[in-house]
Amino acid sequence: MNDTPLARAAAVFQAAFGQPPTIRVQAPGRVNLIGEHTDYNDGLVLPCAIDYRTVIVARPRADRRVRVAAADYDGAIDDYALDAPIERLAEPMWANYVRGVVRELLQRGLPVQGMDLAISGDVPQGAGLSSSASLSVAVCRLFATLPGFEALGPVDMALVAQAAENDFVGCKCGNMDQISSACGVQDHVLKIDCRSLAVEPVPMPPGAAIMIFHSHVSRGLVDSEYNTRRAQCEAAARHFGLPALRDLDLATLEARAAELDPTVLRRARHVVTENARVAAAAQALAAGDLARMGELMEASHASMRDDFEITVPAIDQLVEIVKAAIGAAGGVRMTGGGFGGCVVALVPRELVEAAGAAVQQAYTAPNGQRASVYVCRAAAGAGLVDA
């Protein structure tokens, strides 16, 4: 059997519901190339959708029931009515992402209909590539195929998915993951303004590959430390009388550095300089300048390590191994919230094999695992899938 997410979902749909699906949609995962911890400071980020995705196949129903089959969880089925309160489940967790989006669409007064659907995906879970946002956006994209959803654009779908994760699932995520999944453009990264929600596609240099290295370092501190970093950033903005660090320039920060607690100063300096790096990175990619992109990614990693203090020794080692393999021809940095997770590299295709081999040879996680390596390309955002 063809073991793709589409094939798995279609087979489970037929087995569960006794007929073929009539709608097929997908939504991709994402990786952030540069712009870390800038999103909640109203700043800039530079992610892209990747060619790992969640696929949903479905068939509208004549009644008000939703039945969901999870192809990657032994075909388990969640079944509920649209006219009764949609409750959060203790388990399985995957069902809550679907329920949360359905409830959010209903609360917005959209004409949600009954639906049978089956879900499958190949976005690696637990690797920081936004498998949850991919699922939530795919569910929203599915219901947006129904009559009456014409005004729901890609950014709107992203915000529905974010609200579902925030208010129903209970994950207080920002909107970058969902916007990346909903708005991705083939062979482009997205410069996203997290204040205005403006999305600007920036072409990827031809011949460049995106490599993601999963460190297998558990991100155990990320929630508490995330909240601490966010509070420190907000304290710095308040000190300067600004809505967010997005509005602070480096010259002002440096001139008044003595007014701030030294730790808060370092946190603010990371955000201010990272926003500038995102803007410069978008220009470098548009010009096809991978060497300049490499310099910016190196500076971003150093800032995360020294000013924001969110890297760990194993991540720093992984970055150094990749950097030694690719030299000045590309860039590498930690990506994600920090304290473990993934490293992202932008690499000329001819160096992909060498970078992967270097990591396999020289890196071992503290738990004894080798890094998992994913080679990706920038992919299109959520949409219909041809049968």
pLDDT at residue 370 is higher than 60: yes
C-alpha dist (Å) from residue 324 to 83, 318, 330, 358: 59, 10, 11, 9
pLDDT at residue 307 is higher than 60: yes
- What's the N-to-C CA distance of the chain in angstroms? 16
Where do the H-state alpha helices sit in 184-259? 222-239, 250-255
pLDDT-derived band of residue 1, with 50, 70 and 90 as boundaries? Answer: very low
pTM (whole model) above 0.85:
yes
- Catalytic residue of the set 42, 177, 247, 306: 177
pLDDT tens figures, 311-336: 999 999 999 999 999 999 999 999 98
Q: What CATH class has 5-205+379-384?
A: alpha beta
> Would you list the domain boundaries of the chain?
5-205+379-384, 208-376
Which pLDDT score, from 0 to 100, does residue 117 have? Answer: 98
Closest of 301, 293, 377, 280 to residue 329, by C-alpha = 293
Where do the H-state alpha helices sit in the chain? 5-17, 93-107, 131-143, 154-164, 176-183, 222-239, 250-255, 262-286, 290-306, 313-326, 352-362
Which pLDDT score, from 0 to 100, does residue 219 have? Answer: 73
Share the mean pLDDT of the chain: 95
pLDDT tens figures, 53-78: 999 999 999 999 999 999 999 889 99
Strand ordering across the sheet containing 208-214: 331-335, 342-348, 208-214, 372-376
- Residue 131 CB burial class (10 angstroms; 0-12, 13-18, ≥19): buried
79 is catalytic: no
pLDDT tens figures, 193-217: 999 999 999 999 999 999 999 999 9
- Considering the segment(s) 208-376 as one domain, its CATH architecture is 2-Layer Sandwich (3.30)
pLDDT tens figures, 334-352: 998 888 889 999 999 999 9
pLDDT tens figures, 130-173: 889 999 999 999 999 999 999 999 999 999 999 999 899 988 77
